A and B are shown apart, each in its own frame.
Chain A
Amino acid sequence: DAGVTQSPTHLIKTRGQQVTLRCSPISGHKSVSWYQQVLGQGPQFIFQYYEKEERGRGNFPDRFSARQFPNYSSELNVNALLLGDSALYLCASSRPGTGEETQYFGPGTRLLVL
């Protein structure tokens, strides 16, 4: 079975630009979560979507937004990029409601803001 896929793998942007990152979950997984991982730290939760509804939001500014599509894929958008947005953006998918919900991660998109 295919795992979680993300695109693009790498991205270079300049301050003030906007970026869209994409994620496709594991087949059968209806929930997608987004995380930001800065070098030397653990991933930080940004958003979770389940059945196209926002299920949770982390402590990130409104410049960050996301959505989930009917096929359960998801996009993360970041507007007005800052240098501090440079990070590895991880997507994870899961199957809620099993009582032992486990998140499986994709390879990430490495974003560099210059």
Chain B
Amino acid sequence: AQSVSQHNHHVILSEAASLELGCNYSYGGTVNLFWYVQYPGQHLQLLLKYFSGDPLVKGIKGFEAEFIKSKFSFNLRKPSVQWSDTAEYFCARYNQGGKLIFGQGTELSVKP
């Protein structure tokens, strides 16, 4: 069965630091990968998605992710974080049955 794993449970950064959150997906099935963000008290929002094409995907709010097939990875990056990026970040993919499978989530805390 397809799965997604996120390496970091909690990341703490200072403003202006660079961010990279890890996401690995299991082998098999069609590639479809997503990053969602959940700001405190708000609903899950789509940051970016990858289905095919250019492996470097640009998303909203300055986020990007790189699909590396050989490493089964889809890491999320941002060159310079802001306090407003404090949130929980989820990597996800569909399994063969069409269910969206989420990773455990990474809580990002940005210190002002």
**Interface set of A (CB-CB < 8 Å, partner B):** 33, 35, 40-45, 48, 55-56, 58, 90, 92, 99-108
Which A residues are in CB contact (< 8 Å) with B94? Answer: 101
Name the interface residues of B10-53: CB closer than 8 Å to any CB of A.
32, 34, 36, 42-46, 49, 51
Report the interface size for chain B: residues with CB under 8 A from the other chain.
Answer: 22
Which B residues are in CB contact (< 8 Å) with A35? Answer: 100
Interface of A, helix, strand, loop or mixed by DSSP? loop
**Interface set of B (CB-CB < 8 Å, partner A):** 32, 34, 36, 42-46, 49, 51, 90, 92, 94, 97-105
Closest Cβ of chain A to B65, distance in Å, is 15
B49 and A105 contacting across the interface, CB-CB below 8 Å: no
A56-B97, A56-B99 known; A90 and B51 CB under 8 Å? no
